[in-house]
Amino acid sequence: MNMFPPGAIAVIFVNRRTGADEAGYQAAAAAMEAEAVRQPGYLGIHSVRAADGEGITISYWTHEEAAARWRAHAGHSKVREQGRADWYDHYHLIVAGIIRDHRWERGAQDR
């Protein structure tokens, strides 16, 4: 994944799944990721989920307006409503600015 520039936005989505309709959830998640990639200002995504259903997905955007456009996207809005109805027990959304991005990986020079 690319480095994220200072001033970019991280949308942090902390959630707990209900466990209902796993196939529908996976299909919707894949469709939303494919659609997000096509949006102006999209920079990338990280997502993890624990065995107990707790998950964190972070999407990265060039600026707050790009993240807000994604929130208002008709397909994303429809899936969000289905998530509230079927797939999530709860979620917490945090929007944060990126100040610095530093990475390290074994065998590579520090960046």
pLDDT digits (tens, 9 = 90+) for 56-106: 999 999 999 999 999 999 999 999 999 999 999 999 999 999 999 888 889
For 34, list phi and psi in degrees, rounded to 5. -65, -40
- According to the model, what pLDDT value does residue 110 have? 57
Q: Quick one: how far is CA 61 from the chain centroid?
A: 10
Mean pLDDT in residue range 45-54: 93
- According to the model, what pLDDT value does residue 108 have? 76
- According to the model, what pLDDT value does residue 3 have? 84
For the chain, give the percent of residues with pLDDT over 90: 86
Domains of the chain, each with CATH number or no CATH: 15-97 (3.30.70.100)
